[in-house]
Structure 1
């Protein structure tokens, strides 16, 4: 499946949150993300991602192993995504390290998730704050087959627009890059 997703900066987070809460109840969660690569950086070179995400929420804690392949849409950055829930986060971290993967970055995301239907699609909108990165972001996504990516992105774009977010606020900036930049700007010289 392809994660047809758009991401935008949010200038009025409270207003967007009110609009989202009219669509669905919020699921408030904190993500602990660790991204892995091989020592030679070959996953990054191939535009692939390997992530272990531990999610802490009101319903408990769960861990998800995710592999994202190279993007299939340059404009949005949408990628094929393969995920599986794992029972033992520490075992998965140990397994990846044992296979030669190394953690390249770990950080926290504070999220408010809203699941709703629009244009006949199940969508997930997530308001995101990363403590190390200024501002609030929104991600809106839906899972589709590869031949439906363009149409799905049009529907996602319409959902974002309905929340009062314009095309000028769309961004492809990755949280991993923003966190790296933030950490390097505060590192002692």
Structure 2
């Protein structure tokens, strides 16, 4: 399995961050909408094993892509201060067919979540500017030392960092905000329409 190493940064100024990315020669892959479903058995077998099985649909202005991902606890020693998974991921031709296969095997969506993501690449590190129901989070993925170096280069050393999953961040936000508990964190239909319109007709 491939090793995924990442760290989240909270409180970044996105307008200033985009300027720094451009000034440093980062390559932009544009924005897209992500719609995710995380699957498990009714007994929560995968969650108990700290495994994640996810079907993701990525939507751009001119195309869509479905991705199937399995994340597992990392084997062997892992660096401290970052989130680490062992991961396998592959594109699938038909997301609906994949959903039917998973449900046919006894898996069900345990929770669903949406994300508006803007992707950049800089010095071999992947920088994602994410917007979710509960706020904006920058996710940087790459070798541990490179994550910190790129964050410093982009002026993010003062940002709060987190190794929490978005699922856990949603739960914490709901508790702190007095919002009723819910594992799903999805944009409403109006917001999805606004995002899709913005992808098709960028300002």
The two structures have a TM-score, normalised by structure 2, of 0.77
Q: Which runs of 5+ in 1 are unaligned?
A: 143-151
From the superposition, tell whether residues 140 and 59 of structure 1 become closer, same or farther in structure 2 (CA, over 3 Å): farther
1:183 Cα deviation from its structure 2 partner: 5.9
**Is the CA contact (8 Å cut-off) linking 2:125 and 2:146 kept in structure 1?**
no
**Is the CA contact (8 Å cut-off) linking 1:71 and 1:77 kept in structure 2?**
no
Q: Which residue of 2 aligns with 1:187?
A: 180
1:171 Cα deviation from its structure 2 partner: 0.5
1:97 Cα deviation from its structure 2 partner: 1.0
**Is the CA contact (8 Å cut-off) linking 1:8 and 1:139 kept in structure 2?**
yes
Q: Counterparts of 2:174 and 2:65 in 1: how far apart (Å)?
A: 27
Structure 1: which 4+ aligned runs deviate by more than 4 Å?
180-185
Q: Counterparts of 1:56 and 1:126 in 2: how far apart (Å)?
A: 15
Q: Counterparts of 1:181 and 1:6 in 2: how far apart (Å)?
A: 18
Q: Counterparts of 1:31 and 1:163 in 2: how far apart (Å)?
A: 25
Q: Which residue of 2 aligns with 1:90?
A: 96
Q: Which runs of 5+ in 2 are unaligned?
A: 182-203
Q: Which residue of 2 aligns with 1:133?
A: 134
More strand by share: 1
Farther off after superposition, 69-78 or 155-164? 69-78
Q: Counterparts of 1:15 and 1:71 in 2: how far apart (Å)?
A: 35
CA RMSD of aligned residues (A): 2.0
Is residue 167 of structure 2 the alignment partner of residue 176 of structure 1? yes
**Is the CA contact (8 Å cut-off) linking 2:12 and 2:159 kept in structure 1?**
no
From the superposition, tell whether residues 48 and 160 of structure 1 become closer, same or farther in structure 2 (CA, over 3 Å): same
The two structures have a TM-score, normalised by structure 1, of 0.83
**Is the CA contact (8 Å cut-off) linking 1:37 and 1:44 kept in structure 2?**
yes
1:25 Cα deviation from its structure 2 partner: 2.5
**Is the CA contact (8 Å cut-off) linking 2:68 and 2:89 kept in structure 1?**
yes
